[in-house]
Structure 1
Amino acid sequence: MKAVLVLLGVLLPLISSGQSGLTDQGLFFPKPSANSFVKLTPQKPLNLGAFTLCMRLSVDPNVVSKENRDTILFAYRTQKVDELNVWQEKGKISLCLQTSSDCAFYSVPLLSIFRTNLCVTWESSTGLTAFWVGGRRSTLQVYRKNHKVQSGGAVILGQDPDSFLGSFEEKQSFVGEITDVNMWDYVLKGDQIRNFNDKVWLGPEPNVLNWNVLKHDLNGNVLVVPEKYK
């Protein structure tokens, strides 16, 4: 019995550190904060000339939908700059690459108390950018043509880092649930993105961020939502 207890004492910290992926689980940020976030470890550096980023989200509209509140949905920051951010702000959803002032804004259905399947695609060679909400594509925009997302940063859920892994603001924090964050270093086909709505994903394996095997570090008041609530 003593040996079993010692073994559990070794295994439990490993389980709580989230090193085995988040298959059939989600992350719940129950209230606004300036210190609750999850750091994700990509499978490869985010040295990107194109990408598809998908995730499923639901929010507390009493917080997130307040007038003039900006809410970060996904953040990737290097030591010097916000490289890739996705926001709900000014009544729209936006993609910001290496800037916080020159973003691509989309008048698409906003997040709600019910789960939303959200994807964004971008390609440097053409600048073509689009958001997908529930499998439906927005109109295209040309944004940041010939730009390249730089490696060497940190991927953060829950907060917008104004410095590397720091300078968080409660008024911009995410409040709600996030799950199935996946990223590819190319633009998926429309039919593949529409399949993201299905419980069983039949598309290509995510090669930058893969929720099922993702290494992650929880900080502050963040709860891992078990499969029965998904």
Structure 2
Amino acid sequence: LSLGLCLTVGLSNKVLVFPYETDFSFVTLIPQKEMELRAFTLCMRVATELQGERQIILFAYRTADYDELNVWREKDGRISFYLSGDGVFFHLPPITTFRTSLCLTWESRTGLAAFWVDGKRSTYQVYKPGHTIRPKGTVLLGQDPDKHLGDLEVMQSFVGEMTDLNMWDSVLSRSLIQAWHYGHRVPKGNIFDWGNIEYELNGNVMVYHDN
């Protein structure tokens, strides 16, 4: 996989459509600041028709040797995330053909991690206190690179729609996460801000007006 320099900026009122399973379609995102993170909030709106026992990658950030931050729907339907090693798993309402607001928060200081679905928080789990996410990697939507920008698998690919992906280098409050869910104004993501996001399309991903 070569990273070209044909970056496009900004996806306000746009949705990314991944129309079918491939091992070559993905979107590369360029963070606004280095992702050397000791806390974060990651939010996106996501919908898929994929059902049954099928892994689906929802977000992948990889450095040369590690999957730094990967978010998955597992084969058993649980939602998980991994910080370079074993993951942590949550029983959440299923992601369906209707759009779900999905946020993930984590902080190194306590290790507290939670998912938020349509403005409602899961129970906290303690995961990797003291860990730091490493910088200088690559963020992909739609595929999971098993090595640095390589080894893509059809049966892990994302199929469906993604929009409004934002990421902050802190844990947002309940009121801000709920405000984001309802489409109210919140502070722009300082790692990813959908309105000013730098991205590159690869394969058959479509950018469409969000009706």
Q: Is this contact kept in 2: 1:88–1:110, CA < 8 A?
A: no
Please give the secondary structure, in 1, of the residue aligned with 2:24: coil
1:186-197 residue pairs with structure 2 within 5 A?
A: 186-197=170-181
Please give the secondary structure, in 1, of the residue aligned with 2:8: coil
The aligned residue for residue 46 of structure 1 is 35
Q: State the Cα RMSD in Å.
A: 1.2
Match 1:87 to one of 55, 69, 72: 72
The aligned residue for residue 200 of structure 2 is 217
Match 2:160 to one of 176, 179, 204: 176
After superposition, give the CA deviation of every residue in 1:171-207 in whole Å (9 maximum; x if it has no partner).
00000000011000000000100111223x3221210
After superposition, give the CA deviation of every residue in 1:54-101 in whole Å (9 maximum; x if it has no partner).
0000001xxx2122x1100000000111000000002200011012xx
CA distance in 1, matches of 2:7, 2:47: 22
The aligned residue for residue 20 of structure 2 is 31
> Structure 2: where are the runs of 5+ without partners?
none
What is the CA-CA distance between 1:19 and the residue it aligns to?
A: 2.0
CA distance in 1, matches of 2:187, 2:176: 8
- For structure 1, which segment, 184-193 or 201-210, has the greater mean C-alpha deviation from structure 2 after superposition? 201-210
1:1-230 residue pairs with structure 2 within 5 A?
A: 17=6, 19-60=8-49, 64-67=50-53, 69-89=54-74, 90-99=76-85, 102-199=86-183, 201-227=184-210, 229=211
* Paired residue total: 206
Please give the secondary structure, in 1, of the residue aligned with 2:180: helix
Structure (1 or 2) with the greater helix fraction: 1
Please give the secondary structure, in 2, of the residue aligned with 1:204: coil
CA distance in 1, matches of 2:188, 2:202: 28
Please give the secondary structure, in 2, of the residue aligned with 1:212: helix
Please give the secondary structure, in 1, of the residue aligned with 2:195: coil
CA distance in 2, matches of 1:71, 1:20: 26
- Return the letter of the residue paired with 2:203: G
Q: Output the TM-score relative to the length of structure 1.
A: 0.87
CA distance in 2, matches of 1:185, 1:125: 13
- Return the letter of the residue paired with 1:65: Q
Q: Output the TM-score relative to the length of structure 2.
A: 0.95
In our comparison, the structure showing a higher alpha carbon Rg is: 1
CA distance in 2, matches of 1:109, 1:218: 30
CA distance in 1, matches of 2:114, 2:153: 28
> Structure 1: where are the runs of 5+ without partners?
1-13
